[in-house]
Amino acid sequence: MKLAKSFMVVLSLLILSTMIFAEPVVIRFWHIYDAGVAQQTVNQVVEKFNKTHEGEIKVESLGISFWDYWDKIRVSIAAHQEPDVFLHDLGNVPMRASTGVLLNLSPYLKKAGIDVNETFFEAPLNMGKWEDGIYALPFETDVRLLFYNKDLFAQAGLDPERPPQSWDELWQFADKITKKSSQGYYDILGFNPLYGQSYFWMYVWGNNGSFLDENGNLKLNNPTVVKSLEEWEQMIGRLGFENLTEFNATYPTGLNDAFVNWKLGMVIQNNTFFSQIENYAPDMNYGVTQIPYPKRPASWSNGFSIEVSSRSTHTEEAVEFALYLVSEYPQFLFAKNVSSLVGNRMAANSPELISNPLWKLAVETLEISQFRPFVLEYPLWYDDALQKAVDNVLYGRSTPKKALDDAQKIVDAEIQKYKLTH
Amino acid sequence: MSNTYKKSYIKKKRLKGYFFVAPWLIGLTLFVIGPIIASFILSFTSYDMINPPRWIGLTNYKILFTLDPTFWKALGNTFYYMFGSVFLKVLLGLVFAVLLNNAGKFMGIFRTIFFLPVVLPAVPVMFLWMMLFNPRSGLINQFLSFFGINGPLWLNSPVWSKPALIIMSLWGIGGIIVIFLAGLQGIPTELYEAAELDGANKFKIFWKITVPMLRPIIFFNFMTGLIGASQIFTEAYIMTGGGPLESTKFVNLLIYQLAFKDVRMGYASTIAVIMFLILIPMTLFLFKIYKNQTEL
């Protein structure tokens, strides 16, 4: 009897002690940085957070390879086992926000006294909005810039320190650099509008055009887009579409990239392309500038977001960590180590980073860059309907006006499909 | 031995048999039959993988038949590839097998050489073929230029992309050759001797003796080839992405894109069900012809 009593006392003391020395709240964080400098930086950031929140919050961070990540996060959401905080695609936030699986961060941002317009770049921030809330915060983003080979410029008799300032100059310079072989294909091209990260929508934006009408609905066959496609067709027809396709097939991206192999005078690429040049063509003198434009400066961006699950059992702690991730110091660290653009304006404009001219140019370009508008009923409108229209025109199967009218018909059909099934 | 003892002995043996087959049966049910039934049910729903599937009845099927020209293009592409690839493979496989059969002591070496591509990993082989098909520096166009022919853009041409994939599929002819070789061993030599005595030339022998005797194997190869070719996906996914101008958009690729890029699981399941409903009658029809043809 006495033994049993003392046993009960010890047991109840043990139970009491576990309640007093409570376990910290565990927040699960998934992201794509599973290797190299990016992974080290994220781990550093997470460790710092865990130290300052010792005993209260413990963040468990998991980096998954980019190629597997999207399937894994999708399956985890379907199984109701998604992490509390996760990285996702800044380009299609409404897809998730509209299903209720994301937490609206607006009230938390207000409570924390964060002025979103001051803190974040405008275009990436807008991609995280849906209806009246903010469901995603921009973490990592990018822009497209014009890289040019100064040595090829000099060889063609152009001033290597003077990149083209307008769209017309771009073609003037390009024509001087272009060399055709005796068999009729392009040995060296000055500029290829179908290569790298150069796309038709960027040209439309450069023409001060838009794919949306005043109500924010997709209107692919509006006059500016039609005119842009006519100009696009002319530009490419002048060089020869088959020749350009043959050139693209001969120099697929990667080790055989045309610019890196001195076969392309100017190329539109992601702002992180400089690392490829320095790896594969270290003795090339290259310059970077904003993409020339016919009417209005334009560039295009993609990005990764930080999102919080609305089904998390510890939303307060999850939001605290999410806000920390996009705050100035962690973003500055990420930008410095990984050389990739970040969503936090103040971090991006820090003096240490801005002293690098390429970084400064990228930040300036981010202020005028656009994301492809997201359309909930037809997310792949640009890859599907628009690309089909452009391809049909370039392959000579249709005229710009008719191709874009057909594309708009596809858009209308897709919206109808969405309405029937949702 | 009494009858009841015999019956329970047989029953015990039968139970043991089921017991040994059970793991495979469970696997088949869970991982093959179960998902097929689930796919069939999903085809009547709208499922975005975040919220549970929503029943919408025949809406997906209505959309497929009225609002989706892409599916019919994909179906056309798939049939083009299926029949083009399989006809060529079976024909060439048969010719090579007959030639190899008369190669005497070299048959073993050549059989190995032909079979080697079948065991190579698919993805690196595809990258190799992409290099071969390179319009400027690829070996195929360089070879053609020796004859003064300006080779097409192959994988980058909407007209030549499927022929390119068909040529690539001929690389795997080894499996068919090996099966035909085995079948050729089974043809009685007396038939050949009798034909030669009657003064038949090699060509006549091939068409009047070899082919009819190999009919069951030809149909087997044709049928398995068709079913296999209808599943084409990896080549299009890695080498062309469905282009150019959707010329290599095959049904499997369309299902994959709808399911994992658009996240329209219900609609993707609908297409899968329709393919099932097309391939099953086709197979049954071929079986019927096979039954008729092999009744000598």
Domain boundaries, chain B: 3-59, 67-293
Instruction: Indicate whether A2 belongs to any domain.
Output: no
A18 located within any domain: no
Residues of A in contact with B270 (CB under 8 A): none
Give the pLDDT score at B80: 95
Q: How far apart are CA B288 and CA B296, in angstroms?
A: 14
Asked if A395 lies within 8 A of B67 by C-beta distance, the reply is no
User: Which residues of chain A are within 8 Å of residue B130 when distances are taken between CB atoms?
Assistant: 252
Residues of A in contact with B51 (CB under 8 A): 99-100
Alpha-carbon span A42 to A33, nearest angstrom:
7
Residues 6+ apart with CB under 8 A from A41: A33, A333, A334, A337, A338
A95 in B contact zone (CB under 8 Å)? yes
Which residues in chain A have their CB less than 8 angstroms from residue B267's CB? Answer: 421
Is the domain of A42 the same as that of A56? yes
Instruction: Provide the 8-state DSSP code for A104.
Output: P
Query: Is this complex scored with an ipTM above 0.95?
Result: no
Q: How close, in Å, is residue B44 to chain A by CA atoms?
A: 10
A115 and A73 in contact (C-beta within 8 Å)? Answer: no
Cα separation, B237 vs B100, whole angstroms: 35
Report CA-CA distances (Å) from B286 to B181, B283, B296: 23, 5, 17
3-state secondary structure of B140: helix
Q: What is the pLDDT of residue B148?
A: 86
- Residues A270 and A174 both lie in one domain: yes
Same domain, A118 and A29: yes
The mean pLDDT value for B240-269 works out to: 90
Question: Does any domain span residue A212?
Answer: yes
The angle formed by the CA atoms of residues A99, A410 and B243, to the nearest 5 degrees, is 95
- Please report where in the chains the tokens 């985890």 appear, as a residue: A76
Per-residue pLDDT tens over the stretch B98-112: 888 887 788 888 888
Q: What is the count of structural domains for chain A?
A: 2
CA distances from A9 to A6, A12, A17, A18 (A): 5, 5, 12, 14
* A138 & A247 share domain: no
**Residue A374 in contact with residue A93, Cβ under 8 Å?**
yes
Instruction: Evaluate if residue B296 carries a pLDDT over 60.
Output: no
- CB-CB under 8 Å, B158 with A395: yes
Amino acid at the residue B200:
A
CA dihedral (A238, A244, A247, A251) positive or negative: positive
CB contact under 8 Å between A185 and B136, yes or no, is yes
Are the Cβ atoms of B136 and A246 closer than 8 angstroms?
Answer: yes
Shared domain check, A281 and A136: no
- The mean pLDDT value for B46-56 works out to 88
The pLDDT tens digits along chain A (422 residues) read 678 788 887 787 777 766 656 688 999 999 999 999 999 999 999 999 999 999 899 999 999 999 899 989 998 998 899 999 999 999 999 999 998 999 999 999 999 999 999 999 999 999 999 999 999 999 999 999 999 999 999 999 999 999 999 999 999 999 999 999 888 889 999 999 999 999 999 999 999 999 999 888 999 999 999 999 999 999 999 999 989 999 998 898 777 899 999 999 999 999 999 989 998 999 999 999 999 999 999 999 999 999 999 999 999 999 999 999 999 999 999 999 998 899 999 999 999 999 999 999 999 999 999 999 999 889 889 988 999 999 999 999 999 999 999 999 999 999 998 888 88
Task: Check CB contact of B137 with chain A, cutoff 8 Å.
Answer: yes
The pLDDT tens digits of the residues spanning B212-231 come to 888 888 988 898 899 899 99
Comparing CA positions, the residue from B236, B233, B281, B261 lying closest to residue B129 is B236
In a domain, A184, yes or no: yes
Q: Which of residues 168-207 of A touch B (CB under 8 A)?
A: 185
CA distances from residue A304 to A70, A88, B114, B144 in whole angstroms, order as listed: 12, 5, 48, 47
The pLDDT value given to residue A357:
92
d(CA B244, CA B246): 5
Looking at the structure, do residues A36 and A63 belong to the same domain, yes or no?
yes
Q: In b/e form, how buried is each residue of B1-18, taking b as 16+ CB within 10 angstroms?
A: eeeeeeeeeeeeeeeeee
Instruction: Compute CA A313 distance to the chain's CA centroid, rounded to the nearest angstrom.
Output: 30
Q: Please determine, for residue B295, whether its predicted confidence score (pLDDT) is greater than 70.
A: no
For residue B264, the distance in angstroms to the closest alpha carbon of chain A comes to: 10
What is the DSSP pairing of strand A341-342 with strand A129-130? unpaired
The strand pair at B45-46 and B54-55 is best described as antiparallel
Among residues A371, A290, A410, A330, the alpha carbon closest in space to that of A128 is found at A371
Residues A292, A201, single domain; the answer is: yes
Residue B118 confidence (pLDDT):
86
Domain identity same for A158 and A296: yes
Query: What CATH number is attached to the domain comprising A75?
Result: 3.40.190.10
Q: Are residues A254 and A320 in the same domain?
A: no
Residues of chain A contacting B136 with CB distance shorter than 8 Å: 185, 246, 249-250
B67-293 CATH: 1.10.3720.10
A330 and A416 in a single domain? The answer is no
Q: Which token pair is A365?
A: 């370009």
User: For residue A419, what are the contacts with CB-CB under 8 A and spacing of at least 6?
Assistant: A377
Over range B37-51, report the average pLDDT. 91
Domain containing A402: what range? 144-300+376-421
Distance between CA atoms of A174 and B61, rounded to whole angstroms? 51
Q: How would residue B263 be classed by pLDDT, with cut points 50, 70 and 90?
A: confident
pTM of the entire structure?
0.85
**Pairing verdict, β A129-130 and A57-63:** unpaired
Q: Chains A, B: CB contacts under 8 A, how many?
A: 68
In a domain, A5, yes or no: no
Q: Indicate whether A14 belongs to any domain.
A: no
Residue with tokens 């001060």: A208
Identify whether residues A231 and A265 lie together within a single domain: yes
Collect all residues of chain B within an 8 Å Cβ-Cβ radius of residue A71.
260
**Residues A388 and A291 placed together within one structural domain of the fold:** yes
Determine whether the interchain pair A250/B153 forms a contact, defined as Cβ–Cβ distance below 8 Å.
Answer: no
Listing DSSP states for B35-66 in one string gives HHHHHHHHTTEE--SSSPPEE-TTHHHHHHHH
pLDDT of residue A1: 66
User: What is the Cα Rg of chain A in Å?
Assistant: 26
